[in-house]
């Protein structure tokens, strides 16, 4: 596979795709034990999109970090994608001179770099996105059971689509990478979609950096960072800005000279296709590689019949036993 590095501006110009988890059910469930004075970029932003104190503190670290990326190089580009419970959408694109929402992502690769980053604009768009995302909710059954997951697969797909449009926009472009902020636990039902996104990023040589804010590790993002050559980190919310600037602010070329955090262990467990549960051992279809937690007579994905060979062998063994007995 031909490397895409020959089409870059220089080796230190970056396109950072930032995926922000806006799951309101998670952010409202965690207490904030850190005062606003501990925020890395100053006072927490005040907006209806960040009514929850934990989410407000989170944004007070992320927004200054985005400004620092733009300050490192005037050709750097930042694109923000909001990850909701029912939808995903583009929120901000620094390459567009006119900040008009989704229109910013139609022409990737422009060199406009507004400084400083307009935090109020991002907060307003986050507010509108969260309101619209709540309106798309079909039922409260998942909320009542506590199984409300963020659409990480959707935001990864949007980021990869933007990067592919960037590759096709011209012979020169910055070095793309994805930084995924995940707060809510993994959604097992998204296993196939997330793995497809990981394989696409791996083929396009796009690293996926992972920053997990929740209390649980993300098996999906552990695999994504490991397979694409990214960095997986689970920092504390109180010192998030310091972690971001020390680990994720450096470009891919400079990472060769740094001692970045290495994963202690990667959870490679898969989710079954029948019940969407994480399993340690299961049954794999030899045709389409679908995974099941229990034995089935037929693959629900490709329709292949199972256990035919075993049944034939059992019939042959039964015949041999009958002939030997006689």
pTM: 0.76
Residue range(s) of every CATH 3.40.50.410 domain in the chain: 5-268
What pLDDT is attached to residue 119? Answer: 81
- Considering the segment(s) 5-268 as one domain, its CATH architecture is 3-Layer(aba) Sandwich (3.40)
What confidence tens digit (pLDDT) does each residue in 313-326 have?
A: 545 555 555 555 55
- Confirm if 79 and 90 have CB atoms less than 8 A apart: yes
DSSP 246-293: IIISS-TTGGGGS-----S-----EE-TTT--EESS-EE-TTT--EES
Q: Is it the case that residue 169 has pLDDT exceeding 60? A: yes
What pLDDT is attached to residue 248? Answer: 94
The mean pLDDT of the chain is 78
What confidence tens digit (pLDDT) does each residue in 141-152 have?
A: 555 445 578 999
- Confirm if 181 and 213 have CB atoms less than 8 A apart: yes
* Separation between Cα atoms, residue 172 and residue 142, nearest integer Å: 45
What confidence tens digit (pLDDT) does each residue in 36-81 have?
A: 444 444 554 544 344 468 898 999 999 999 999 999 988 899 999 9
């Amino acid at each position: 596979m031909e490397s895409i590095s020959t089409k870059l501006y220089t080796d230190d110009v970056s396109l950072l795709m930032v995926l922000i988890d806006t799951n309101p059910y998670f952010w409202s469930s965690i207490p904030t034990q850190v005062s606003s004075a501990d925020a890395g970029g100053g006072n927490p932003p005040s907006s209806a999109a960040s009514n929850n104190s934990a989410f407000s503190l989170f944004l007070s670290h992320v927004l200054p970090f985005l400004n620092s990326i733009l300050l490192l190089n005037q050709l750097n580009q930042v694109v923000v994608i909001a990850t909701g419970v029912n939808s995903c959408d583009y929120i901000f694109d620094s390459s567009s001179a006119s900040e008009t929402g989704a229109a910013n992502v139609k022409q990737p690769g422009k060199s406009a770099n507004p400084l400083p980053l307009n935090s109020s604009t991002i907060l307003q768009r986050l507010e509108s996105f969260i309101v619209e995302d709540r309106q798309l909710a079909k039922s409260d059954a998942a909320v009542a059971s506590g199984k409300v997951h963020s659409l990480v697969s959707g935001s990864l797909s949007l980021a990869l689509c933007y990067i592919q449009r960037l590759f096709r926009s011209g012979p020169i472009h910055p070095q793309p990478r994805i930084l995924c902020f995940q707060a809510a636990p993994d959604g097992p039902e998204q296993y196939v979609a997330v793995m497809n996104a990981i394989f696409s990023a791996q083929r396009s040589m796009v690293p996926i950096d992972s920053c997990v804010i929740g209390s649980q590790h993300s098996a999906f993002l552990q695999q994504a960072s490991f397979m694409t050559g990214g960095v997986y980190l689970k920092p504390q919310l109180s010192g998030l800005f310091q972690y971001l600037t020390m680990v994720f602010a450096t470009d891919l070329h400079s990472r060769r000279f740094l001692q970045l955090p290495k994963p202690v262990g990667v959870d490679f467990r898969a989710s079954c296709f029948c019940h969407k549960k994480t399993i340690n051992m299961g049954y794999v279809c030899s045709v389409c590689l679908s995974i099941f937690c229990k034995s089935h007579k037929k693959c629900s994905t490709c329709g292949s019949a199972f256990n035919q060979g075993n049944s034939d062998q059992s019939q042959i063994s039964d015949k041999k036993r009958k002939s030997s007995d006689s």
